[in-house]
Amino acid sequence: MRLKDKIVITDASCFITLDKIEGLNLLHSLYKQVITTPEIAAKFGKRLPAWVDVKSVLNRDLLYDYAETIDIGEASAMALATEISADLLIIDDAKARRFAKKLELNIIGTIGIILSAKLNGIIPAVKPYIIKIQQTNFRISDLLTSQILKEAGE
């Protein structure tokens, strides 16, 4: 399946970080449909672009079950991803990523989005985006930075 055919669910950290570095449109360029939940939209705190669909989790029991382990926003993203069989979940928090893996959800992080944008010819380089991200409160290890730059051929 091509990236542009994928339906993705994203957590707040991806929206927040990409917004801070003026990279929010990367999501729209990469994916067919970008979906989030009302809980995440509220956490983002700004109006989301029109191309982001906001959908509520119908199975509230599943949502509350997940929320016993992880943040309500992350729980809502995972519950919705499970409910609609999303192709990909964009999530950055380490604990939430471990939980998503236990649920066998396909995950990627914000840095992975930037790498995908480079590999798909949407941006010419990842390094300028990494530098901008390092100037925010988003934590990225030196090891991950090196790995991403190597994968990007930079």
Report d(CA 101, CA 36) in Å as an integer. Answer: 19
**Burial class of 84 by CB neighbour count within 10 A (0 to 12, 13 to 18, 19+):** middle
Angle between helices 142-151 and 127-134 (to 10 degrees): 160
Report d(CA 129, CA 114) in Å as an integer. Answer: 7
**Under 8 Å between Cβ of 61 and 50:** no
Residue 3 above 90 pLDDT? no
pLDDT tens readout for residues 27-64: 999 998 999 999 999 999 999 999 999 999 999 999 99
pLDDT tens readout for residues 53-94: 999 999 999 999 999 999 999 999 999 999 999 999 999 999
Domains and CATH numbers, the chain: 3-151 (3.40.50.1010)
Q: At 36, phi and psi to the nearest 5?
A: -145, 180
pLDDT at 138: 87
DSSP string, 85-143: T-SEEE---HHHHHHHHHTT--EE-HHHHHHHHHHTTSSS-SHHHHHHHHTTT----HH
Residue 1 above 60 pLDDT? no
Predicted TM-score (pTM) of this structure: 0.91
How far CA 87 is from CA of 3, 42, 107, 123, in Å, comes to 10, 23, 9, 23
**Under 8 Å between Cβ of 106 and 116:** no
**Under 8 Å between Cβ of 111 and 94:** no
